[in-house]
Amino acid sequence: MPFSKNILCIGAGYVGGPTMAMIAHKCPHYKVTVVDINPKRIAEWNFDDLPIYEPGLDKIVTSTRGKNLFFSTEIERGIKEAEIIFVSVNTPVKTFGAGAGMAADLQYWEKTARQILKYSESSKIIVEKSTFPVRTAFAMERILSLTENDIHFDVLSNPEFLAEGTAIKDLEYPDRVLLGSRETPSGVKARDELVKIYASWVPKERIITSNIWSSELSKLVANAFLAQRISSINSFTALCEKTEADITEVARAIGMDSRLGNKFLNSSLGWGGSCFKKDILNLVYLCRNYGLSKEADYWEGVVRINEYQKERFVLNMVSAMFNTLVSKKICLFGFAFKANTSDTRESPAIFISKRLLDEKAELVITDPKALDNAMTDLDGIDGKISYIEDPYEASDGCDAIAVMTEWEIYKSLDFEKIYRSMVKPAFIFDGRNILDHKGLFDIGFNVFPIGKPVLTHF
């Protein structure tokens, strides 16, 4: 049976791969091709060992790959054949020139737009899936309007709200799908095409439309609010530690207020991930560009509190362990920026590892899925680091354990066995507040949670 439409996604990353796999899975009549400039990544998508770990992803990829889902490096061919092109390339923070450290680096996006322009032989719908600064679609339209033949491009915004670790569930049962377009007849027609795709599995009332700028901005605002929520709860942890209040009890009390809700109130050593920091900094940069310095300062504070929280965690460790970490062996439980993902981008564990190495501690890093990425992140850093997947083996002979990632497996380890194998006094710094602190204290550990009274035997 011929396919009713050809969909292309440019960028086979954490967003492009899973989102296109879901579209292919739910819309067997569409041919979905995902292309990337990175041949290694494409090769991995074509093998059993996928380039990213997400619960449930392998199942939908293997059931669709080779049928209506294809991974390829043939970008030119992909563009020529597609009627709808999703752009899902990376938009990291700029590291050079104007706006360095704040603005989005749009080189990948612009190259993609120029490739689309160069290879297109027919009109197409172009969908911004990446997170872009508000009004990027305007620049995209300007580039695509340079066409010399009779081709027309409709540029739409369809930001992705999935969370890593729950990407497949989020894609299958999204809270909402947002589609932003121009209110022109052709913009509305293009939007209807996208609605048709999502309506294959998403209830109609969850597919919302808006003007294109609101759509672009909504993604930045959503990430700013989510990160702000964690920074807000984290901003009270130091006060709790000083006053014997317990942040978990405080979170429970405020979370029962229906105006606030109880989600995203877990305190921790700080948020990470590829998006929050870059998107907020980008928002800050945009505000400053528009002369809105008060708004910029306000949102920059969300990032500042997060940096402070990570540094505070390290300083607490140094102070608890008699003000020196020199030659002490510290086992990091987890390296991924959150549980159920192999992604380590902007993981607090990277900052903390570097700071502990500065203090001349030795590191043993354990993680069920992210050790390869951890090795890449810490490659070339001075200091002694080993990588061991088994947490028992990893913590053997260590002075301290520091929990970096809230992996479920860490909750049910045999901590009596671990305690016996560690140097005494043994310390646990629970950067995620996931362990049974009283139980660990009773075993003999000195326990340092976040935002709760410490439990020590001194």
Q: What is the three-class DSSP state of 85?
A: strand
Considering the complex, state which of residue 162 and residue 371 has its C-beta at the smaller distance from ligand NAD: 162
Binding flag, residue 340, ligand NAD (CB under 6 A) = no
Considering the complex, state which of residue 75 and residue 84 has its C-beta at the smaller distance from ligand NAD: 75
Q: How far is CA 162 from CA 26, 222, 338, 385, in A?
A: 17, 11, 14, 33
Give the CB-side neighbour count of residue 407, counting CA atoms within 13 A. 24
The strand pairing partners of 332, in sequence order, are 365, 402
| 275 among known catalytic residues | yes
Selected catalytic residue, list 275, 287, 331, 398: 275
Q: Minimum distance from CB of 381 to ligand NAD (Å)?
A: 22
Q: d(Cα 135, Cα 415) in Å, to the nearest integer? A: 53
Span near ligand NAD by CB under 6 A; candidates 20-28, 83-91, 300-308, 430-438:
83-91
Helices and strands (H and E) in the chain: how many:
18, 14
290 token code pair: 């528009």
Site for ligand NAD (CB under 6 A): which residue of 131, 158, 181, 395? 131
Considering the complex, state which of residue 131 and residue 316 has its C-beta at the smaller distance from ligand NAD: 131
Q: Minimum distance from CB of 329 to ligand NAD (Å)?
A: 33
Q: d(Cα 404, Cα 348) in Å, to the nearest integer? A: 7
Binding flag, residue 243, ligand NAD (CB under 6 A) = no
Q: Minimum distance from CB of 212 to ligand NAD (Å)?
A: 16
Q: Which among 454, 405, 427 is positioned nearest to 269, based on CA atoms? A: 405
Binding flag, residue 79, ligand NAD (CB under 6 A) = no
Q: Minimum distance from CB of 123 to ligand NAD (Å)?
A: 21
60 token code pair: 């939908």
Site for ligand NAD (CB under 6 A): which residue of 8, 9, 11, 299? 11
Q: Which among 330, 322, 302 is positioned nearest to 232, based on CA atoms? A: 302
Considering the complex, state which of residue 88 and residue 340 has its C-beta at the smaller distance from ligand NAD: 88
Q: d(Cα 133, Cα 213) in Å, to the nearest integer? A: 9
**Closest-CB residue for ligand NAD?**
13
Q: Is 405 left (phi over 0), alpha (psi -120 to 50) or beta?
A: beta
Binding flag, residue 275, ligand NAD (CB under 6 A) = yes
Span near ligand NAD by CB under 6 A; candidates 9-17, 22-30, 398-406, 417-425:
9-17
- Sequence-distant (6+) residues with CB within 8 A of 205 are none
Active site residues: 275
- Residues of the shown chain interacting with ligand NAD in the complex, contacts defined by CB under 6 A: 10-16, 35-38, 41, 75, 88-91, 108, 111-112, 130-131, 160, 162, 164, 274-275
